[in-house]
Structure 1
């Protein structure tokens, strides 16, 4: 099965690569002409869009290939260890993932109500049924994590008494990307697994490079400068949130846990994404080089050179380490405002399935579903409503960011938000606190490159 799937994906990859090469050849030929006809100019613009789409499709196939190969390796390992017993610290029953249904699944507990209820019931009265289900769930998680190459790490004194529980991954997938403003930018960053221990992570950074120069004369010494590097140390942050539920709500309420799970996970995702953009010292708004756009009557025609300037500055900063993965990040109000603008008698941004004389393209995707479109130079756009809209002297401006995906580094615990636990801190009030927390680290400054467009030209748009 895996071999056939890999063969099909390799065939798709070859087709996309061939398409990219053909588009590059065609674009180069058109660019070499001193004068282009209107049709040739329109085709040249269309090539930019088609290239962006082809590269995106190629990247998606590469991601699928990596996932299939990883699953193939995991399947081979699990076949060899199919009968191995995995138990909790309290000697939980054997979990045979794949041979029988998971304890908590999208089908039997889509909103996480039973999971959250079992957490509370186990804590409140050591309920035997809840104990057994949670123990089985933790055993299943151990099997799954080891298959995926991410063994479960016991933290904060272990899980024998269920002081901490790994949240079912489908619940994280269900709520984290969709609730509130979500994490569009965080999902576009370069991801690393957070180390199992320590409150800092390190990444190498060359500070002095080698030199090469013409030899002064025969037998003269070659140019030589000692290469030097340093470790960039990034602090690990702890993000946490809590929700208080009454015993009455748990014991007599209907759907209370549903609200708790959804709200906590949505808040987790939004906080992470917002910190990457707005946090003091490390947030993109604080590390990016400003490109000021000043205007009393903003138009997309005025903004256009600034957009190109942002992408150009990123490339100039990264030079030969540039992977061609520059992205733009903006608030949804800015993205939709751009689509209201006209260039002569044509829309500045084309719409799905509509051929026109256009400069960029809107892919028509929903919020949080990846790239929303491309700018006139082919730069993909991430729409993220965690971009602040209260900036500037009038507290009504937003910003547009440019940066390379490969140089926005995000370390996350592979299972984050890892733990959910109950703490009875308000027993006299018959209240129970549910807490979710986890760890992350982020930097965009290993190579200073990020740019931002800001100024009075980005005040709240009118439609």
Structure 2
């Protein structure tokens, strides 16, 4: 094998190692945790292999350069060399050629406008605009496993969707916490098989006698596909003549509304009128009531218990019925703010900063109060804040809810966000209808016992 072929093989191996590292990081990110000990060991091994491959590639490239320089010198002084055309630098040294990555069709710094091209296609069928839109589709779907709903619609630029869906306000905290899979194409309902009754074992009474035989029973649960959509009528003047990016202004607002709506559906969907069944309306979850007769307290002694004891009860119910540990607590920001305001008998805060020294603290405050990552811990579990949890529940319509759950037991499927521009019925007023939609499915009923919902009058107090 010549040196150039060997370099190509080494580069392929390096790419495989980088992909393996990326997969480890992506899996940990989707699970909202750091690398495990085993994953860290594998990550370090991949990193060491990449360094070794880099050294070997550099060594071989230097040898190639030296060989080509020697060959060039020999040609220059060979008989008849002066009569031959001088080779170009690229011919002498193919390794010097630069690979230039083609820029994205619709980048933040680019001159192409996504919505303007949608408008051109809708109005005149502009072939160049359609080519750009189709090229953008390829770019955005290159790393995806599904092209759900690709019937003539176009996928918005990644820089727009990534920036505004992920960081939408209110944030889709709960929706990003559960296990999310790509939505398969060509289906309107996802069926999940479920074991409803297991096998059994028993001690064999005597030799050569019948052993325990209990047949497994199965059933299935379904997750209907639902549609989340929104639109905006925009003047053609704004699309074509505006000096600002209408892509960013309109699509970011639609994406923000989509993110909030999807998160709310996962939490409070009714299961009817096209909505999925949300966590707070799901039957069979563990119910924990916290209704103290006196002043609600985070910790201490109180008739009817404290919020901390309610969380402990919620954890216990999951352990006792799901036989596995919960992974997260999700509460409204006002509930965590109330927790932060609680003090002990010496007026010291009960939830203390994690960086400081704390003795038997029931909860810890994280380094940052950010919208997507855990803000701290309570009873040893990470706490996530979701402003989409209702605050108008209970008999007094003033309660929120606290959810304790094993988040990886809850499944969701989400398709590509799609956008379109339509001039029908708006042509006589020089307007376009700009539409955003996607398809999704949600099923929290795989293990209802892995979810505990805390309710009661103690959750109507605020700071």
TM tier, smaller: 0.7 to 0.9
User: What's the offset of the Cα at 1:183?
Assistant: 0.9
Question: What is the alpha-carbon distance in structure 2 between the residues aligned to residue 10 and residue 129 of structure 1?
Answer: 37
Show the counterpart of 1:343.
344
Which runs of 5 or more residues in structure 2 are unaligned?
1-13, 47-98, 272-276, 300-305
User: What's the offset of the Cα at 1:11?
Assistant: 12
Pairing 1:271–2:273 present: no
Q: In structure 2, do the counterparts of structure 1 residues 434 and 63 end up closer, same or farther at CA, with 3 Å as the change threshold? A: farther
Structure 1, 378-387 or 242-251: larger mean CA deviation: 242-251
Structure 1, 219-228 or 365-374: larger mean CA deviation: 365-374
Show the counterpart of 2:327.
326
Show the counterpart of 1:299.
297
Show the counterpart of 2:33.
56
> Retained in 2: the 8 A contact 1:183–1:368?
no
Q: Secondary structure at the match of 2:212?
A: coil
C-alpha distance after superposition, 1:213-262 (max 9, x if no partner)? 22233333111110111221211111111111122322343434432111
Q: Secondary structure at the match of 1:174?
A: helix
- Picking from 166, 169, 172, the partner of 1:177 is 166
C-alpha distance after superposition, 1:63-89 (max 9, x if no partner)? 9989x99xxxxxxxxxxxxxxxxxxxx
C-alpha distance after superposition, 1:6-36 (max 9, x if no partner)? 8989999xxx9xxxxxxxxxxxxxxxxxxxx
User: What's the offset of the Cα at 1:115?
Assistant: 1.5
> Retained in 2: the 8 A contact 1:407–1:444?
yes
User: What's the offset of the Cα at 1:206?
Assistant: 0.5
Q: Secondary structure at the match of 1:313?
A: helix
Show the counterpart of 1:37.
none
Question: What is the alpha-carbon distance in structure 2 between the residues aligned to residue 177 and residue 385 of structure 1?
Answer: 15
> Retained in 1: the 8 A contact 2:105–2:132?
yes
Question: What is the alpha-carbon distance in structure 2 between the residues aligned to residue 423 and residue 309 of structure 1?
Answer: 57
Q: In structure 2, do the counterparts of structure 1 residues 196 and 356 end up closer, same or farther at CA, with 3 Å as the change threshold? A: same
Question: What is the alpha-carbon distance in structure 2 between the residues aligned to residue 186 and residue 398 of structure 1?
Answer: 18
> Retained in 1: the 8 A contact 2:224–2:441?
yes
Q: In structure 2, do the counterparts of structure 1 residues 6 and 279 end up closer, same or farther at CA, with 3 Å as the change threshold? A: closer
Show the counterpart of 2:356.
354
Structure 1, 339-348 or 232-241: larger mean CA deviation: 339-348
User: What's the offset of the Cα at 1:419?
Assistant: 3.7
Question: What is the alpha-carbon distance in structure 2 between the residues aligned to residue 240 and residue 327 of structure 1?
Answer: 30
Question: What is the alpha-carbon distance in structure 1 between the residues aligned to residue 439 and residue 421 of structure 2?
Answer: 16
Show the counterpart of 2:315.
311
Show the counterpart of 2:424.
424
Question: What is the alpha-carbon distance in structure 2 between the residues aligned to residue 120 and residue 432 of structure 1?
Answer: 7
User: What's the offset of the Cα at 1:361?
Assistant: 1.2
User: What's the offset of the Cα at 1:190?
Assistant: 1.0
Show the counterpart of 2:400.
398
> Retained in 1: the 8 A contact 2:315–2:404?
yes
Structure 1, 285-294 or 365-374: larger mean CA deviation: 365-374
> Retained in 2: the 8 A contact 1:351–1:361?
yes
Q: In structure 2, do the counterparts of structure 1 residues 117 and 216 end up closer, same or farther at CA, with 3 Å as the change threshold? A: same
Alignment length, in residue pairs?
375
Question: What is the alpha-carbon distance in structure 1 between the residues aligned to residue 222 and residue 24 of structure 2?
Answer: 42
Show the counterpart of 2:120.
121
Task: State the superposition RMSD in angstroms.
Answer: 3.3
Question: What is the alpha-carbon distance in structure 2 between the residues aligned to residue 385 and residue 60 of structure 1?
Answer: 34
C-alpha distance after superposition, 1:36-61 (max 9, x if no partner)? xxxxxxxxxxxxxxxxxxx9322599
- Picking from 243, 248, 252, the partner of 1:258 is 248
Q: In structure 2, do the counterparts of structure 1 residues 154 and 386 end up closer, same or farther at CA, with 3 Å as the change threshold? A: closer
> Retained in 2: the 8 A contact 1:329–1:400?
yes
Q: In structure 2, do the counterparts of structure 1 residues 367 and 211 end up closer, same or farther at CA, with 3 Å as the change threshold? A: same
Q: In structure 2, do the counterparts of structure 1 residues 61 and 251 end up closer, same or farther at CA, with 3 Å as the change threshold? A: farther
- Picking from 188, 204, 225, the partner of 1:215 is 204
Question: What is the alpha-carbon distance in structure 2 between the residues aligned to residue 264 and residue 298 of structure 1?
Answer: 40
> Retained in 2: the 8 A contact 1:165–1:421?
no
> Retained in 1: the 8 A contact 2:235–2:430?
yes
> Retained in 1: the 8 A contact 2:331–2:403?
yes
> Retained in 2: the 8 A contact 1:425–1:433?
no
Pairing 1:204–2:201 present: no
Question: What is the alpha-carbon distance in structure 1 between the residues aligned to residue 218 and residue 21 of structure 2?
Answer: 43
Show the counterpart of 1:290.
287
Show the counterpart of 1:41.
none
Question: What is the alpha-carbon distance in structure 2 between the residues aligned to residue 431 and residue 63 of structure 1?
Answer: 55
Alignment of 1:18-57 (within 5 A): 56-57=33-34
